[in-house]
Structure 1
Amino acid sequence: MTEHWASRWRVPVIWGLLLLAGCLLMGQLEALFRWVEPDSRDVIFSRVDFLVLLGRHLLVVSVAAVLATLIGVGGAIAVTRPGGRDFLPLVAQVASLGQTFPPVAVLALAVPVLGFGTLPIVVALLLYGLLPIVRNTLAGIEGIDPSVREAARGMGMTSGQILRQVELPLAAPVILAGIRTSVTINIATAALGATVGSSNLGDPIISGIVNGNTAYIVQGAVLIALLALTVDSVFARLAPARRA
């Protein structure tokens, strides 16, 4: 059992350790980044500790993911019920609308209303992450064989019981795939929060662009990539478990 667990989670653990090593040991790579940016006085981003930036990045993405999952899954379930089917096209269009606007445009519109800080980027990530969740939840629930529902009704199950015990378990792998896509995309998109005062792993990238420091940009980009790979590999390991 232990060997199976270790084999199953080896890849996420490796990516996670590389991410932590990058945050903790970035300063030890000064010689390498000095080669990348030989003309800059400072080649290691030191304004904020990388572990702090990682924590802030995870917090923003997690809050947006939880809200997007609750709204996306809840909305999709509502419009697959008999009383909500008339609103199915509207929900699908609203979810699609979120991804037609670039996150930068959403931030530009949100800042005058919400101010600078974390809230505008959470709103942008929420809107940007809704579509995959809504789309996959609809596909997962609508793709269930009607005979399965009829069999559940024949057993005397109520509509709520059918949803909880039949539809959601069968649709779970598809729903999880939508959440996985949403979160992975938003890990990269969250870096834009640094432009509106939401400190995260986008800080080195934005600072590098402003100051013409390629080393800063590389540091932020590498850490965000490692975070995305870590989270994506975790979702990849969860998917088979949900099907079992």
Structure 2
Amino acid sequence: MTRLPARLWRLALFALLLTFLIRPGLFAPLLQPLTRNGAPAIYDKGDLLSLTLSHLKITGLATLAAALLAVSMAIFVTRRAGADFLPLSRSIVNVGQTFPPVAVLALAVPAIGFGEAPTLVALFLYGLLPIFETTIAGLTGVSGPVLEAARGVGMTPWQRLLRVELPLALPLVVAGVRLSAVIGLGTATIGSTVGARTLGEVVIAGLLSDNLAFVVQGGAIVGALAILLHDALSWLETRLARVI
């Protein structure tokens, strides 16, 4: 039996996901056996496409903010002037991994209220470590002869950073962003517990109403998004590695 190429599987998954988000009613017969007492099979308290876009927006904003700070910190501590701050920087980025996102939400809500803001804070803190560590690995992994050659042609430290070190480290930076984004995508579901519009809203509604169909569709959408996002960033990482 011939196996379909991975690219075709991804395209099929994307098409299936898009169809479900635009025309979820088509899948009602498939999910109906998971309901009880005539409950709706498709989530009917909000638009699934709108929730998905909001979920992606929150994840994207948090990942972008985490990337900007983590890369900046990694650059600083890999310079001679900032080397002494490496232990402190590691302690800072480890905060997000030390405290579970639920705990961060619990602490953030009294300070900044309900909605997207506490969710963004939790995802931001949770996403720092992977990007920080992979960026450090990429910057410190640039070979000595390459740096010496850059010095030999008269490049300044900033020119070496921007033209040599960061481009060579870019595949590892993208790897860190991929880890952070996929983790954030799954973790963002808990944002609905504090009023953020995420796909966690569908899962929570299913749990509260004992409707397994809601739980399955919410989890399936997040899972499909995570697979597609992981594959897209993995492809970008591979392409960058080949070019560089």
- Give the TM bin, normalised by the shorter chain: over 0.9
| Change beyond 3 A, Cα 1:61–1:90 | same
| Percentage identity across paired residues of the two chains | 42
CA distance in 2, matches of 1:8, 1:242: 20
Mapped contact 2:36–2:211 kept (Cα < 8 A): no
Q: Does 1:193 align with 2:220?
A: no
Between the two proteins, the alignment pairs up a number of residues equal to: 238
Deviations 1:114-136, CA, capped at 9 Å, x for gaps: 10000000000000000000010
- Which AA in structure 2 matches 1:110? A
CA distance in 2, matches of 1:12, 1:109: 39
Mapped contact 2:39–2:211 kept (Cα < 8 A): no
| Change beyond 3 A, Cα 1:178–1:127 | same
- Which AA in structure 2 matches 1:63? L
Structure 1: which 4+ aligned runs deviate by more than 4 Å? 7-12
CA distance in 1, matches of 2:74, 2:170: 13
Mapped contact 1:43–1:216 kept (Cα < 8 A): yes
* Higher RCO by CA contacts (8 Å cutoff, separation 6 or greater): 1
| Change beyond 3 A, Cα 1:8–1:29 | closer
1:132 aligned residue (102, 124, 130) = 130
| Change beyond 3 A, Cα 1:171–1:55 | same
Deviates further, 159-168 or 22-31:
22-31
CA distance in 1, matches of 2:167, 2:16: 34
- Which AA in structure 1 matches 2:70? G
Root mean square deviation, CA, Å: 1.5
| TM-score, reference length from structure 2 | 0.93
Mapped contact 1:129–1:183 kept (Cα < 8 A): yes
- The equivalent residue for 2:63 is 65
| Within-5 A mapping of 1:96-135 | 96-135=94-133
- Which AA in structure 1 matches 2:165? E
- Which AA in structure 1 matches 2:47? D
Structure 2 segments unaligned to the other structure (5+ residues): none
Structure 1 segments unaligned to the other structure (5+ residues): 1-6
1:144 alignment partner, SS class = coil
CA distance in 2, matches of 1:39, 1:176: 48
CA distance in 2, matches of 1:14, 1:87: 47
CA distance in 2, matches of 1:11, 1:96: 36
- The equivalent residue for 2:12 is 14
- Which AA in structure 1 matches 2:155? M
Mapped contact 2:34–2:211 kept (Cα < 8 A): no
Deviations 1:53-72, CA, capped at 9 Å, x for gaps: 01101110110011001001
1:166 alignment partner, SS class = helix
1:122 alignment partner, SS class = helix
CA distance in 2, matches of 1:163, 1:12: 36
Deviates further, 102-111 or 14-23:
14-23
Mapped contact 1:12–1:234 kept (Cα < 8 A): no
| TM-score, reference length from structure 1 | 0.93
- Which AA in structure 2 matches 1:213? N
CA distance in 2, matches of 1:137, 1:40: 52
State the Cα distance separating 1:16 from its structure 2 match.
2.4
Deviations 1:87-124, CA, capped at 9 Å, x for gaps: 01111121112111111111011000010000000000
Mapped contact 1:9–1:237 kept (Cα < 8 A): no
- The equivalent residue for 1:232 is 230
Deviations 1:165-188, CA, capped at 9 Å, x for gaps: 110111111111010000011100
| Within-5 A mapping of 1:44-83 | 44-83=42-81
Mapped contact 2:142–2:169 kept (Cα < 8 A): yes
